[in-house]
Amino acid sequence: MRSVLARVRLVATDDRKAATDLLTHEMPSVRVELTNACGVCDAIVDAPHWTAASDLSELDAAVASSPSDALSVRGSSEDLAEIACQVLGRYQRFIDRRNLFSKTPAFDAILRGHCGAYGMDEVGWDRSLDRWQWLLRIAPHAQVAAQVAALFRDMPHRIERIVHAAGLADAIAVRAMRMARDGDPDVEDAEALSFLSLESHVASRHEVTRVASSLSEHAITKLPLVRVSPEVRHWIYESLAA
C-alpha cells in the first residue's frame, strides 16, 4: 500500500506562478509546493497528457505504487491548479482528510473495521474511501453517522457491529444504517461524484445521465473538478440541460 498522499508539487513549465486558492480550498489536508522540478520518487502527471489520455490505468498504477508521499503535476501555470485538483480528486482515497468528527481514536477503529469488511475487494474498498472523501468535500461538517454511512453505503449490514466495536453509541449505528439504506442526500451526492470520477469511463450513456440527473445543485458545482472523457462530459451536461 502506498504512503498517505500528503503533498502535491506544482511544476509550471512557463516559469510563472500558478494560482493555488482553488486547490487549497478543495484539498486542505494536502500541502501545495510550487517548485521548478518534479520529485525524484513521485508519480508525475503531465497536464497535456492528463487532459488528452483515454486510458489512465498506467498512471493509476504508478500513483498506487509510488513510495513518495507527494505527486508532481507539470504543465502551464494557467490551468495547473485546476488540473492538480482533478488529479488529487482521482486519487483522494490516498489522502487522510478528516474533520472534527473523524479525527478520533474511535474513528480510527471504524476505518480498521472498514478495511477488514472489504477484505480482498480492493475495487469496492477504493470506491468506498473515495465516496467518503467526496462526502467531506461537499459536506465538510458531516457528522460521524454520515461518514460511516458513506464508508458502508454498499454494506449497511456491517455497520452495527463495527460501530459497537469502536465504542460508539447505539444511536450512531442506527442513524448510519438508516442513512446508508434510505439514501441520505449528501451520501448519494458523494456516491454520484465518485461514480463519475472512477467508473464513468466504462459506463453506458444511460448510466451516466441517470447519475448526473440525480446530483444536487451543490454537487453540480464540483463537476469541473471531476476528470471525465469529452464524451462523458457531453452526456453529463446534456442531461443537466434537459
Domain residue limits at 233: 98-242
Choose one of 79, 94, 109: the last residue of a domain. Answer: 94
Average pLDDT, the chain: 95
* Encoded amino acid at 70, one letter: A
- Asked if residue 1 is part of any domain, the answer here is no
Last residue of a domain, one of 55, 74, 94: 94
Closest C-alpha to 135, from 70, 173, 174, 185? 185
Question: Which cell numbers hold the place of 116?
Answer: 477488514
Is pLDDT of 127 > 90?
Answer: yes
Q: Do 136 and 148 lie in a common domain?
A: yes
Q: Is residue 2 part of a domain?
A: no
Tell me: the pLDDT tens digits for 133-164? 999 999 999 999 999 999 999 999 999 999 99
Q: Where are the alpha helices (DSSP H) in the chain?
A: 21-26, 47-52, 57-65, 80-90, 105-118, 122-138, 144-151, 159-165, 170-182, 185-198, 205-213, 217-220, 230-241
* Phi–psi pair at 100, nearest 5 degrees: -55, -35
115 phi/psi in degrees, rounded to 5: -60, -45
Other CB atoms within 10 A of residue 33 CB: 14
Do residues 15 and 128 share a domain? no
Judge whether residue 2 has pLDDT over 70: no
Q: Do 15 and 129 fall within a single domain?
A: no
In a domain, 79, yes or no: yes
Structural domain count of the chain = 2
Query: pLDDT of 12-32, one tens digit each?
Result: 999 888 889 999 999 999 999
- The answer to whether residues 79 and 125 belong to one domain is no
Q: What is the pLDDT of residues 23-73, one digit of tens each?
A: 999 999 999 999 999 999 999 999 999 999 989 999 999 999 999 999 999
Identify whether the C-beta of residue 41 lies closer than 8 Å to the C-beta of residue 73. Answer: no
Q: Which pLDDT score is estimated for 9?
A: 97
Put simply, whether the predicted model's pTM sits higher than 0.85 gets the answer yes
